[in-house]
Amino acid sequence: MNVRLLVTGFSAFPGAPVNPSEVLVERLRRDAPGFDGVDLVTRVLPVAYQSMPGLLGALGGEARPDIAIHFGLAETAKGFRLERIARNRSSLRAADAAGFVPRTPAIAVGGPRAARSSLPLDAIAERLRGLGLPVQTSDNAGAYLCNYLFYQSCTGGVDGFRPAMSGFVHVPFLDTQLASIPPRRASRLASLTEEELLRGAVAIMEICVAAAQATRCGGRSA
């Protein structure tokens, strides 16, 4: 049976009229290499709290992912920022792309305070460094939709969506976007080229698939 791999990105949101993770998903649809024994599904998700559970439930039924790798934008990221911990919290001040603001800070009342990524982060970091790509790890995925999706994906908080391996990767703006950002702000930001973004994402996918296939075979993951 093939490994079922889901890769998601986010659409635009306030402050980011073009989301690099959406660009990434579009590139993966066109240019992702074939993976033996893998069924790949890609989706761009809206930056909207209220629609997220229904979309994840539908994706679970359609894709039934064994692996879910979620990408999103963090302008403070210095490269591929591998998020280790999802927290049961949402900002009560930041509106989503639909203008909605959560009414309670907890994502899941009575749910676990935090959940860990189950992606093979050490192996991913080693591969990205070997490719000459910037990588960092983080214990703080924020309190916006990125953390919300990360938490729901790792905890199985949405009925029908329970990947065995799940995690979140933040990426910075693309280099081509910096010219449209006020210079003082842009001077503090890191960036990736579109090709670097694609190359790093494919490497992450390869490591995760290899780990899942090794687990199925009863061996060790790389």
Active site members: 83, 146, 170
Tokens representing residue 31 in the block: 């240019």
Residue 111 DSSP class: S
Q: For residues 154 and 48, what is the distance between their CA atoms, to the nearest angstrom?
A: 19
Tokens representing residue 89 in the block: 């919290």
Tokens representing residue 148 in the block: 């919300």
Q: Is the dihedral of CA 83, 85, 91, 96 positive or negative?
A: positive
Tokens representing residue 157 in the block: 């908080």
Residues with Cβ < 8 Å from 113, sequence gap 6 or more? 87, 88
Assign residue 16 a region (left: φ > 0; alpha: ψ between -120 and 50; beta: otherwise). beta
Q: For residues 85 and 127, what is the distance between their CA atoms, to the nearest angstrom?
A: 21
Please tell me whether residue 147 adopts helix, strand or coil conformation.
helix
**Strand locations in 29-101 (E):** 38-45, 67-73, 80-83, 85-87
Other C-beta atoms closer than 10 Å to the C-beta of 55 total: 17
Q: For residues 38 and 31, what is the distance between their CA atoms, to the nearest angstrom?
A: 15
